[in-house]
Amino acid sequence: MKGTGCFFALLQALLLLAWARPCVAEVKLHSLPHQPRQGEAFLLQVLSDSPLGSVTGSWRNRTIHFFPGPDRRRFEAILGVDLAQAPGRSLVRVEIRTTGGDRRSLRTPLDVLPVDFPVQRLTLPRRMVTLSRKTLDRVMREKARVSRLFQDLDTKKRWGAGFMPPLQGAVLSPFGARRILNGEPRSPHSGVDLKASEGTPVRASSDGIVALVAEHYFAGKSVYLDHGGGIVSMYFHLSQVRVRQDDRIRKGEVIGLVGKTGRATGPHLHWGVRVAGSRVDPFSVVKIFREEALR
Ligand SMILES: [Zn+2]
């Protein structure tokens, strides 16, 4: 009898413990694609069987900004692997807080796959390659201006409607191409060059705010759109810009016309995307939304 009493006391204690503890959510981490490649954007999802209070995280010493779905059972973030980031394994850390105030830490390994980027040899007139002191100073100033832009971004998510290419055109120069200019290795191509004739309308890839309108030495007439949550898209070599600084833009709105301003041998659109500063293939961002309709 004594043993039975003990058993019931234990059962009662366990039941009390279960009653007193708030329900612990079943939470899973999911990345799409499962193994991102160098220069690729990817979606990180936190999926829970019950609503969550908050989700924060970090990857490679960078804060991850998660955005909740309407029922707070799903939190999502878009991350990017810079084209020059070394392939291999790193840990994604996520901290969740249930609506009852329970905290939990999750860790998951993430493998970045290597990409053999194509080599592209270009020949340009010497005057376009060898820069004078004055031009170099100008290029440095422009570079600093663009770096500041990436440090001062809107945290509000505006890309809910997904991303689209700014125009339909063949790829003239692919993302990540290792460029050899007049026989000398240069920075890899951080965007894609799309074939289009002068004056073709260039459309905003997603909803956003005009973060910068500029006329830079290399990029020519250019527009930078801040889509929130660390995502920026850029459009270079325009013949005309149709927007102004701080304008709110809708996905698909015409922001300018194709041209060949800056260092360009002919009319085309250079389209680039950065995710938390990482240079990613713009088509990889479009693809995420095709495969997984974000709300
Ligand atoms: Zn380009």
Cα 193 to averaged position of ligand 1 atoms, centre (Å): 5
Confidence at residue 225, expressed as pLDDT on a 0 to 100 scale = 98
Cα–Cα distance, 119 to 131 (Å, whole number): 23
Give the tokens for residue 62: 């960078």
Ligand 1 centroid to Cα of residue 238, in Å, is 12
- Ion ligand 1 residues within 5 Å by Cβ: 191, 193, 270
Spacing, Cα 253 to ligand 1 middle (Å):
22
269 CA to centre of ligand 1 in angstroms: 7
Digit-coded pLDDT (tens) for 30-77 = 999 999 999 999 999 999 999 999 999 999 988 898 999 889 999 999
- Give the tokens for residue 223: 């527009």
Q: How far is CA 105 from CA 27, 56, 96, 98, 221, in A?
A: 10, 10, 6, 12, 46
Distance in Å, CA 194 to ligand 1 centroid: 8
177-190 residue pLDDT tens: 998 988 888 889 99
How far does the centroid of ligand 1 lie from the alpha carbon of residue 2, in Å?
82
Distance 188 CA to ligand 1 centre (A): 10
pLDDT digits (tens, 9 = 90+) for 141-183: 999 999 999 888 888 899 888 999 999 999 999 999 998 988 8
Region 217-245: mean pLDDT is 97
* Spatial distance between the Cα atoms of 266 and 225, rounded to a whole number of angstroms: 24
Contacts of 126 (CB under 8 A, 6+ apart): 182
Taken in order of first residue, the domains within the chain and their CATH numbers are 2-112 (2.60.40.10), 119-291 (2.70.70.10)
